[in-house]
């Protein structure tokens, strides 16, 4: 039951995109998000779509997977669409339903906003699908390391993220196990009103917290036993290297910006 939770899901295949430097991918993802927000009209989502399809194809990700990332968003998407459709006013009426009028501008707005969400979610999921959590935090740490000048604990933040991500599956498994053990003792997690259900979580949450604290203690001990003492003077086994292909990837993003923004400048 809890196994269905997917968080920062990584799709492990070997592709050009997978091999890109995580720093390049993080920057790309940020630039992509900004690009999606800058698209001025509905038609200019076409180049964004083309970029997305190209990126998906290069990452060897199944299209099904990309669409699946939209599933949890479907209600928000529908609400966005409906709200924009009915509550915008314009000059060109398209359809009259009793007292409600649907305007052409409203429809356009609704489409733009909905597509914006769709492209945001699918595009940014490429980052987590093609980058393993450890590589991702590694990239974040390196990107944030200039901030060490102002005492920002870049290494510690990255280490905390890595550990948190590492232990999600472990805790999910643990929760599953405890849930089964309590079910075997007649606990009922599925029926009753909200209060009854919240109360039913106690036999699950107390052991789960205790085990999380125990694991944290064990891990801290194991890290100290291996002489971990923070990021100071720490070297790496796999050093990140910014290569030509990373530069090329960033250039493709610049090309996308040009395509989106050029029409606005020219006309």
Would you count residue 186 as binding another protein (CB under 8 A)? Answer: yes
**CA dihedral for 39, 40, 42, 44, sign (positive or negative):** negative
CA distance 266 to 40: 13
Closest approach, Cβ 173 to another protein, in A, equals 12
Name the one residue in this structure whose structure tokens are 């290297």: 241
Would you count residue 172 as binding another protein (CB under 8 A)? Answer: no
Q: Which of 75, 97, 149, 184 binds another protein (CB under 8 A)?
A: 184
Would you count residue 211 as binding another protein (CB under 8 A)? Answer: yes
Would you count residue 187 as binding another protein (CB under 8 A)? Answer: yes
Q: Which of 15, 101, 104, 183 binds another protein (CB under 8 A)?
A: 183
In the bound state with another protein, the residue whose beta carbon lies nearer, of 110 and 179, is: 179
**Burial of 100 from C-beta contacts in 10 A (0-12 / 13-18 / 19+):** exposed
In the bound state with another protein, the residue whose beta carbon lies nearer, of 19 and 180, is: 180
Would you count residue 182 as binding another protein (CB under 8 A)? Answer: yes
Alpha-carbon torsion, ordered 91, 95, 98, 99, to 10 deg: -20
- Give bridge partners of residue 93 from the DSSP assignment: 103
Closest to 78 measured CA to CA, from 105, 42, 118:
118
Would you count residue 218 as binding another protein (CB under 8 A)? Answer: no
Q: Which residues bind another protein (CB under 8 A)?
A: 3, 174, 177-178, 180-188, 202-203, 206-207, 210-211
């Amino acid at each position: 039951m809890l196994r269905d939770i997917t968080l920062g899901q990584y799709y492990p295949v070997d592709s050009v995109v997978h091999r890109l430097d995580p720093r390049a991918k993080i920057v790309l993802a940020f630039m992509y998000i900004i690009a999606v927000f800058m698209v001025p009209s509905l038609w200019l989502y076409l180049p964004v779509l083309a970029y997305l399809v190209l990126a998906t194809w290069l990452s060897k990700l199944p299209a099904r997977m990309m669409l699946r990332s939209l599933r949890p968003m479907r209600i928000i998407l529908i609400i966005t669409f409906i709200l924009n459709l009915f509550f915008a006013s314009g000059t060109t009426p398209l359809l009259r339903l009793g007292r409600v009028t649907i305007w052409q501008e409203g429809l356009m707005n609704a489409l733009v906003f909905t597509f914006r969400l769709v492209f945001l979610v699918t595009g940014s999921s490429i980052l987590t699908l093609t980058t393993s959590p450890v590589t991702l935090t590694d990239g974040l740490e390196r990107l944030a390391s200039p901030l060490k000048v102002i005492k920002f604990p870049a290494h510690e933040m990255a280490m905390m993220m890595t550990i948190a991500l590492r232990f999600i599956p472990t805790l999910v498994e643990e929760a599953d196990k405890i849930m089964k053990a309590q079910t075997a003792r007649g606990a009922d997690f599925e029926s009753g009103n909200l209060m009854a259900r919240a109360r039913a979580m106690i036999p699950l949450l107390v052991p789960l917290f205790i085990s999380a604290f125990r694991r944290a203690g064990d891990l801290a001990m194991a890290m100290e036993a291996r002489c971990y003492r923070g990021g100071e003077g720490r070297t790496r086994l796999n050093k990140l290297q910014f290569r030509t292909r990373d530069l090329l990837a960033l250039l493709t993003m610049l090309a996308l910006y040009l395509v989106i923004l050029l029409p606005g400048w020219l006309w």
